[in-house]
């Protein structure tokens, strides 16, 4: 069934003067100088003429509406910030005086305008009429006429009872918007009287649901999700009168039903950019996951029309702009505040946490593949390549630890002033924690959790390490060594429930100081060393990439035995994941979907291979310093290169 109203990027005709960006034009068109009006929205008819301006949902300016007033294709145009932000010129400075407007909007201006026909959510969905991906039983088939389609999904083998139950639960978690599926709620426990925000669709939580649906051959929900979340990206968002950056994606959103005057109701999307979240944490990972999922959608369905759309291309560029903009950073890694990813509470992961770097790296690799190449994007692509190369060098060189490296740090000289210092970040050897000396195995190693001036966070963070394998942020040797470490430390990292979110837990004074005495993050609970079944699919993917299917199978078997009995908890507590977590939700959707996605990936290695990346040797050759003529720049990379190439 068609959604009642299409709410995609504002109608943006080709006659817009070329000195207007999309947002400027939009702002110019719909906002008078005093029109930062809450509750304002415009409804257009086909000719693009505004027919209504006053919303009944006063006070909900940031809500996207799926208004039911008219079913014949009116566009409900979202209120956009009236104070159009002065876009950062950061990419400009990095990419040789190209102006932002050109980078971001060129190619969007004189292209096909977003007209009724081509913004219909359903119209370009893959169908089985021979055009695009063919949906066959068990998934998308190869359509020989369409070489875009790279994959064959094996016909579904008979599902186990546990899988059947998981599918039933996953389908029950689906949220619809204007009669179309748009995402899944975070948790769906019928006995939970205080769902807090677990009744919302979280961007990061939806990724395993999306994969399960895609692998099942059901692309519609993913396509709708990608389109609608992209819309929310440009929404007005404020925290105490301050507006976060334009490309920010929300952490989550909720579909609300709002009463209209005439006894009718409309559905609206209400995003949370962190302004309601506990601790007001910034959802930095959302935009990165969105890009990663966009690529996965194209790869698995063979429907590349979505990523080629002008609005989607613009959405991608906005995320990239936010990530690539200049700040005070001294490193190519992304600088973020605490709790800006899956660990969304204070856990001492501010600065340059590994998880964000791994997602950033793979989002850059995805974007490079998906950006439509034209004059307006070539500088952006150049900026992406430079960043990828600098970032992978930085992480491989400075985040990697194994027995040998720890011994080196143990013998570090400190207070080295100069550009060729060995101990560049002035790490005092006393920082090496006692647990690590005993814990680090002979064979294996890992990427540390965070690196700052004078500070290495030696905790093992699972998602960051797994995603470094998947995205090839680590070298092939690193990737193998990380899995060797997981094998050697199986009881600590997998234990009775895969997988530990980080190891070890912060205890005593450290817990008090670093978490701020957080009672939810007590030692070996929740984010502080709890075990999260939601990490199973990333583990499966990493194992498959490295040819270690046996590991993945072993972990999935553990999960399959316990998860249904325990009602699919969000997380487990204790050193080896023995107990259901103290405050764990039950029927947590990404625990369910992560399990299903893992099973399906394992059964479809060809599909899994579409979701990971191999080493990019060209990137390793690119070094910005070599390209620069400045003699002041001293490149420490050439020396270290031999070490990191393999």
Counting contacts by CB under 6 A, is residue 338 touching ligand GLC? no
Q: How far apart are the first and last CA of the chain?
A: 52
In the complex, least distance from residue 407 CB atom to ligand GLC, rounded to whole angstroms: 35
In the complex, least distance from residue 136 CB atom to ligand GLC, rounded to whole angstroms: 33
Integer Cα distance of 296 and 134 in angstroms:
17
204 vs 228, beta carbon nearer ligand GLC = 204
43 vs 359, beta carbon nearer ligand GLC = 359
| Count of CB atoms situated within 10 Å of the CB of 385 | 17
In the complex, least distance from residue 212 CB atom to ligand GLC, rounded to whole angstroms: 16
Counting contacts by CB under 6 A, is residue 281 touching ligand GLC? no
Phi and psi for 336 in degrees, rounded to 5? -135, 170
In the complex, least distance from residue 430 CB atom to ligand GLC, rounded to whole angstroms: 32
29 vs 500, beta carbon nearer ligand GLC = 500
Task: Identify the helix (H) or strand (E) that includes residue 136.
Answer: strand 134-136
Counting contacts by CB under 6 A, is residue 532 touching ligand GLC? no
In the complex, least distance from residue 272 CB atom to ligand GLC, rounded to whole angstroms: 11
151 vs 187, beta carbon nearer ligand GLC = 187
In the complex, least distance from residue 530 CB atom to ligand GLC, rounded to whole angstroms: 10
Question: By CB under 6 A, what part of segment 419-448 binds ligand GLC?
Answer: none
> Within 489-616, where are the H helices?
490-493, 508-515, 536-545, 549-562, 589-603, 605-609
Tell me if the bond preceding 504 is cis, omega within 30° of 0: yes
Residue corresponding to tokens 């670093």:
514
In the complex, least distance from residue 205 CB atom to ligand GLC, rounded to whole angstroms: 5
The residue from 163, 344, 457, 480 that contacts ligand GLC (CB under 6 A) is 344
Integer Cα distance of 444 and 480 in angstroms:
8
Residue corresponding to tokens 């932002």:
100
- Pattern of binders to ligand GLC over 147-186, x per CB under 6 A? ---------------------------------------x
Distances (CA, A) of 500 to 131, 465, 585: 44, 12, 17
In the complex, least distance from residue 243 CB atom to ligand GLC, rounded to whole angstroms: 23
Phi and psi for 407 in degrees, rounded to 5? -65, -35
Counting contacts by CB under 6 A, is residue 573 touching ligand GLC? no
Integer Cα distance of 104 and 106 in angstroms:
6
105 vs 282, beta carbon nearer ligand GLC = 282
92 vs 344, beta carbon nearer ligand GLC = 344
> Within 13-89, where are the H helices?
22-30
Residue nearest to ligand GLC (CB): 186
Counting contacts by CB under 6 A, is residue 272 touching ligand GLC? no
Query: Which stretches does DSSP call E strand in 169-287?
Result: 174-177, 180-184, 201-202, 252-259, 265-272
The backbone region for 242, taken as left when phi is positive above 0, alpha when psi lies in -120 to 50, beta otherwise, is: beta
251 vs 300, beta carbon nearer ligand GLC = 251
In the complex, least distance from residue 545 CB atom to ligand GLC, rounded to whole angstroms: 24
Counting contacts by CB under 6 A, is residue 223 touching ligand GLC? no
- Pattern of binders to ligand GLC over 181-220, x per CB under 6 A? -----x---------------x-xx---------------
In the complex, least distance from residue 367 CB atom to ligand GLC, rounded to whole angstroms: 23
In this structure, what DSSP letter does residue 187 have? B
202 vs 503, beta carbon nearer ligand GLC = 202
Counting contacts by CB under 6 A, is residue 595 touching ligand GLC? no
Integer Cα distance of 344 and 284 in angstroms:
10
Q: Determine contact, residues 69/55, Cβ cutoff 8 Å.
A: no
In the complex, least distance from residue 479 CB atom to ligand GLC, rounded to whole angstroms: 24
| Size of the residue set binding ligand GLC (CB under 6 A) | 6
320 vs 463, beta carbon nearer ligand GLC = 463
> Within 400-453, where are the H helices?
403-410, 434-439
Counting contacts by CB under 6 A, is residue 342 touching ligand GLC? yes
> Kind of pairing, strands 50-54 and 64-66?
unpaired
Question: By CB under 6 A, what part of segment 19-58 binds ligand GLC?
Answer: none
38 vs 278, beta carbon nearer ligand GLC = 278
> Within 587-636, where are the H helices?
589-603, 605-609, 617-621, 624-627
Counting contacts by CB under 6 A, is residue 545 touching ligand GLC? no
Counting contacts by CB under 6 A, is residue 637 touching ligand GLC? no
Integer Cα distance of 161 and 163 in angstroms:
5
Counting contacts by CB under 6 A, is residue 402 touching ligand GLC? no
Integer Cα distance of 3 and 159 in angstroms:
32
Q: Determine contact, residues 532/526, Cβ cutoff 8 Å.
A: no
Nearest to 186 by CA among 578, 568, 596: 568
In the complex, least distance from residue 173 CB atom to ligand GLC, rounded to whole angstroms: 11
Which residues are at the interface with ligand GLC (CB under 6 A)? Answer: 186, 202, 204-205, 342, 344
């Amino acid at each position: 069934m068609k959604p009642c109203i299409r709410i995609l990027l504002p109608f943006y005709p080709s006659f817009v003067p070329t000195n207007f960006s999309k947002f400027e034009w939009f702002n110019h068109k719909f906002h008078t100088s005093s029109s930062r009006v809450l509750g304002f929205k415009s409804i257009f008819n086909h000719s693009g003429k505004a027919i209504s301006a006053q919303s009944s949902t006063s006070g909900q300016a940031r809500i996207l509406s799926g208004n039911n007033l008219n079913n014949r294709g009116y566009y409900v145009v979202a209120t956009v910030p009236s104070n159009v932000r002065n876009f950062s010129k950061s990419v400009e400075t990095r990419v040789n005086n190209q102006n932002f407007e050109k980078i971001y909007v060129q190619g969007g201006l004189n292209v096909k305008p977003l007209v009724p026909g081509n913004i219909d959510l359903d119209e370009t969905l893959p169908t089985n009429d021979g055009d695009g991906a063919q949906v066959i039983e068990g998934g998308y088939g190869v359509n020989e006429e369409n070489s875009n389609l790279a994959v064959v999904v094996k016909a579904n083998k008979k599902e186990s009872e546990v899988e059947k139950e998981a599918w039933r639960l996953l389908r029950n978690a689906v949220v619809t918007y204007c009669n179309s599926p748009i995402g899944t709620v975070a948790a769906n426990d019928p006995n939970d009287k205080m769902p807090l925000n677990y009744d919302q669709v979280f961007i990061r939580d939806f990724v395993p649901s999306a994969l399960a649906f895609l692998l099942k051959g059901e692309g519609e929900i993913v396509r709708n999700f990608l389109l609608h979340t992209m819309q929310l990206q440009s929404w007005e968002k404020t925290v105490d009168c301050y507006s976060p950056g334009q490309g920010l994606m929300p952490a989550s959103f909720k579909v609300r039903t709002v009463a209209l005057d005439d006894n009718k109701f409309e559905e609206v999307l209400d995003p949370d950019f962190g302004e309601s979240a506990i601790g007001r944490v910034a959802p930095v990972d959302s935009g990165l996951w969105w890009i990663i999922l966009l690529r996965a959608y194209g790869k698995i369905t063979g429907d590349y029309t979505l990523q080629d759309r002008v609005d989607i291309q613009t959405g991608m560029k906005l995320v990239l702009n936010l990530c690539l903009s200049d700040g005070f950073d001294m490193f190519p890694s992304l600088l973020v505040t605490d709790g800006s990813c899956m660990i969304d509470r204070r856990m001492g992961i501010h600065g340059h946490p590994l998880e964000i770097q791994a997602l950033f790296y793979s989002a850059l690799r995805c974007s490079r593949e998906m950006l439509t190449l034209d004059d307006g994007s070539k500088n952006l692509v150049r900026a992406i390549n430079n960043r990828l190369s600098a970032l992978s060098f930085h992480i491989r060189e400075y985040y990697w630890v194994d027995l040998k490296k720890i011994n080196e740090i143990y013998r570090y000289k400190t207070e080295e002033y100069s550009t060729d210092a060995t101990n560049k970040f002035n790490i005092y050897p006393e920082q090496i924690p006692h647990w690590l000396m005993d814990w680090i195995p002979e064979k294996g190693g890992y990427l540390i959790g965070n690196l700052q001036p004078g500070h290495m966070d030696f905790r093992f963070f699972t998602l960051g390490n797994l995603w470094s394998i998947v995205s090839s942020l680590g070298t092939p040797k690193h990737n193998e060594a990380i899995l060797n470490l997981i094998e050697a430390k199986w009881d600590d990292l997998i234990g009775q429930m895969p997988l530990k979110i980080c190891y070890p837990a912060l205890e005593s004074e450290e817990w008090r100081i670093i978490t701020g005495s957080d009672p939810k993050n007590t030692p070996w609970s929740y984010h502080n060393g709890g075990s999260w079944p939601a990490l199973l699919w990333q583990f499966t993917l990493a194992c498959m990439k490295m040819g270690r299917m046996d590991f993945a199978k072993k972990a999935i078997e553990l999960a399959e035995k316990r998860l249904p009995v325990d009602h699919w908890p969000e997380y487990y507590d204790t050193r080896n994941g023995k107990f259901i977590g103290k405050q764990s939700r039950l029927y947590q959707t990404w625990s369910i979907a992560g399990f299903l996605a893992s099973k399906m990936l394992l059964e479809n290695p060809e599909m899994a291979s579409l979701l990971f990346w191999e080493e990019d040797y060209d990137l390793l050759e690119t070094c910005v310093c070599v390209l620069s003529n400045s003699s002041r720049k001293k490149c420490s990379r050439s020396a270290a290169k031999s070490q990191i190439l393999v």
